[in-house]
Amino acid sequence: MDHPIEFFSEDVEFELNNPEQVAEWIASIVARHGQDLSNLTYIFCSDDYLHEINVEYLDHDTLTDIITFNNADEDGIIEGDVFISIDRVRDNAQDHGTAFEDELHRVIIHGVLHLLGFKDKTEAQEALMRKEEDSSLSLRKF
């Protein structure tokens, strides 16, 4: 099944494993939350690339694993660009003792959850975000 989800890499040599299955999983999470998927683009990049975006667009001079831009102009529609640093994901997986692919999937779905309205600025929001991430990860069929 085709979904309006695309995966690209910028500034890194990276290719997502099982892109069709990952897209199906993402689409199922969006549907589970009762929203419509319009267009979702993932850009896998380096720390340097994402740091430049963080400084230029968000005025944050820090490294991060993900930046999500919501491009939807109406409620209930999921449309956005999700930039993910492969360097950060790799380091975080090692720091947390998890497999790279599991950490990557957590970050991938984290971006979707932001587009679905979940936040992670407070401890309570962060706890709910982690619960939703875990729930979403448990639904992977690959």
Beta carbons of 134 and 102 less than 8 angstroms apart: no
3-state secondary structure 114-135: HHCCCCCCCHHHHHHHHHHHHH
Segment (H or E) for 25:
helix 19-32
Q: Is 110 annotated as a binding residue?
A: yes
**60 marked among binding-site residues:** no
What is the identity of the amino acid at 54?
N
Token output for 121 = 């600025």
Tell me: is residue 120 an annotated ligand-binding position. yes
End-to-end CA distance of the chain: 16
Are the beta carbons of 92 and 104 closer than 8 angstroms? no
Residue written as token pair 């448990």? 138
Q: What residues form the annotated binding site?
A: 110, 114, 120
Q: What residues form the annotated binding site for Zn(2+)?
A: 110, 114, 120
